[in-house]
A and B are shown apart, each in its own frame.
Chain A
Amino acid sequence: MGKYSRTIRRFVGSRRAISTLLANVIVITMVISLGTMLYIWTTGVMGAYQGAAGIWFLTRGEVMKERLAIEEVWFTNIAPGDQKNITIYIRNVGANEIKIAAVYVNSTQAWTGAKAINVGQVSRISLDLRPLTANNKWGKGCVTYISVATLRGTVVKGYWQAPV
């Protein structure tokens, strides 16, 4: 400490270059504070971006793994001969568990729910056509448009002909 005491006494007693020194201190302080703010802002922005992008990749990846097949559509009855039931068999042929959210018959929602199907498994969904409209039934020999949607948004659709 004794080594620098003379230097400190000279610095305190001297009246030269005070403004230059203060200016340097102020500039350095400003640079540090602004730089810190910039760093914090940049980190926040990048974190937010990473979070959003991560969710996007995760969601798209989960959807990409979904594959399902409607392997059988059976046109049948509730009461004998009323032609008001369609039974479909859906197989999960993807790499992820799927949840069936809705089934549409001729673009009208015929079933909703959250039926889970594990990978490689098949599930049966019975569609009651009675609540749809007063006279809604499958017609003999008619082509029926059926689409199946999962909770993640995958849609599988196709046309099936009822027995003649």
Chain B
Amino acid sequence: MLKRFAVGRKGVGTILGAAYFIIIVLAIFNLIMWEANQYDAYQQLVGQMNQIDQDRASENLQFFYPGLTDFQPLGSGKYSFSLLVRNNGGITTSVARIYFVNCSDTSSNALTTIEKGTSGVNYFTNGFINPGENNHKISVVTTLDMYTASIRAEPFYIHVATERGRTFSTFYPIAEALPPGGSVPYIDIGPLRFVFDYNSLNYTTINQQQPTQGWNFSYTGGTKIMFFVKVIDIDTVSDIKLLRYCVFDCIEMAATGASQKIASFYIVDKNSKYPPSMMYAYNENTAQILPHATKGAGGSPDTLFPQIIVFGASVWGTNEPKELYVGSDKAYSYLVLMGFYYQFPKDTKYTYGVTVPFVGIRVNTPT
């Protein structure tokens, strides 16, 4: 056959043309395959990066009220606390960095960056948050005294940056939505909670030695009187020390408005029962301490410790009794302004004075 092919003279051009055609077709096919390969690799990369973008978009951290908790001084100017978050996203989130911006500070120290780490200063741990995880605590060690800042109500912006590039921010202290008006019989002022139920304001006299409600009662002019008020320290970390200037001011109300008759009852010892014989002076050295609340575990409510504060002295730090201004058995009403002076935390330099919004009491008023 080879011999016939070698001596044959027909179809040489056809063979050559076919060979060239096949070569060119193969070259073009090779080119197409190369381009398809390149395009496939590129599309794989696009798919991978789209997946990264989707993962990033799936992250969703929310700050959990009260935002910061578990405050602990560590000494050497370092403090620890926990940042409360929950992962509402569909993917595990890893925190890369936390920024604290002190809104009260206009200097270059206003920004503090907290890095992931396990030692040193300005670091955090436990920054890995699984999806659906609630009340997750990111432990932070820093030079920022956030506890003191919180009780001074110094505002901070907190930015939590994740490893995928999302940033979640909150303002601290976190504002809490109040329950519907009228549904909660108390008022919170700073760490103090004043309870307004029927037996939260009581009184005693020599003729009424068992505390009884003090909103509206019978009273004979000139009778020494003491008042009992229910108060709670709702802070979960620090106790409150009451100072001797705490006062229960009863401003007599006349038909034309407030008169100039004010009966001021200063705080007395908590063991006082009724005036004048069982009323004891208030001593700041053995001051009344309002114990702090205990943090509820696992999201359950905090345990509160209501305390009774007794007012009755006409001069602070004494046991001199005091009476209300009344005439005979006439009906009188009083606008009461309670001034609370306290150290918070106790035995520190931070002293505060707050007033409770006015309450009214009446005597000798027919019901």
List the interface of chain A (C-beta within 8 A of B).
Answer: 24, 27-28, 31-32, 35, 38-39, 42-43, 46, 49-50, 53-54, 57, 60-61, 64-65, 67-69, 71-72, 74, 76-77, 80-81, 87, 89, 91, 93-95, 120, 122, 163
Complex Cα gap A39–B27 (Å): 9
The reply on B189 being an interface residue by CB < 8 A is: no
List the interface of chain B (C-beta within 8 A of A).
Answer: 9, 12-13, 16-17, 20, 23-24, 27-28, 31, 34-35, 38-39, 41-42, 45-46, 48-49, 52-53, 56, 96-97, 99, 101, 103, 106-108, 110-111, 113, 159, 161, 163-167
Interface pair B27/A71, CB less than 8 Å apart: no
Shortest Cβ-Cβ A-B pairs, 9 listed: A69-B165, A93-B165, A71-B161, A35-B20, A57-B38, A46-B31, A71-B167, A72-B99, A74-B111
Interface pair A64/B45, CB less than 8 Å apart: yes
Complex Cα gap A68–B108 (Å): 26
Chain A nearest CB: distance from B194 CB in Å?
Answer: 32
Given contacts A64-B45, A93-B56, contact A32 B16 (CB under 8 A): yes
Chain A nearest CB: distance from B115 CB in Å?
Answer: 9
Interface pair B96/A122, CB less than 8 Å apart: yes
Chain A nearest CB: distance from B89 CB in Å?
Answer: 16
Interface pair B42/A69, CB less than 8 Å apart: no
Contacts of B52 in A (CB 8 A): 67, 93-95
Contacts of A27 in B (CB 8 A): 13
Sample (20) of A-B pairs whose CB atoms are under 8 Å apart: A28-B12, A32-B16, A38-B24, A39-B24, A46-B31, A50-B34, A54-B38, A57-B42, A64-B42, A69-B161, A69-B166, A71-B165, A74-B101, A76-B110, A87-B111, A89-B99, A89-B113, A93-B163, A93-B165, A94-B49
Interface pair A120/B163, CB less than 8 Å apart: yes
Closest chain B residue, CB of each to CB of A36: B20
Interface pair A24/B9, CB less than 8 Å apart: yes
Interface centre among A71, A87, A95, by most chain B C-beta atoms within 10 angstroms, is A71
Closest chain B residue, CB of each to CB of A121: B96
Contacts of B161 in A (CB 8 A): 69, 71-72, 89, 91, 122
Closest chain A residue, CB of each to CB of B12: A28
Interface pair A65/B49, CB less than 8 Å apart: yes
Interface pair A91/B165, CB less than 8 Å apart: yes
Contacts of A49 in B (CB 8 A): 31
Complex Cα gap A56–B341 (Å): 74
Interface pair A46/B27, CB less than 8 Å apart: yes
Chain A nearest CB: distance from B43 CB in Å?
Answer: 10
Given contacts A54-B38, A57-B42, A93-B163, contact A67 B49 (CB under 8 A): yes
Interface pair B97/A122, CB less than 8 Å apart: yes
Complex Cα gap A119–B27 (Å): 40
Contacts A31-B16, A74-B110 supplied; 7 other A-B pairs, CB < 8 Å: A39-B20, A46-B28, A57-B42, A72-B167, A89-B113, A95-B49, A163-B103
Given contacts A69-B166, A76-B110, contact A53 B38 (CB under 8 A): yes
Contacts of B46 in A (CB 8 A): 64
Contacts of A24 in B (CB 8 A): 9, 12
Closest chain B residue, CB of each to CB of A49: B31
B23, B45, B48: the one within 8 Å of A39 (CB): B23
Closest chain B residue, CB of each to CB of A124: B113
Given contacts A72-B99, A120-B163, contact A38 B16 (CB under 8 A): no
Complex Cα gap A39–B45 (Å): 35
Contacts of B23 in A (CB 8 A): 39
Chain B nearest CB: distance from A7 CB in Å?
Answer: 10
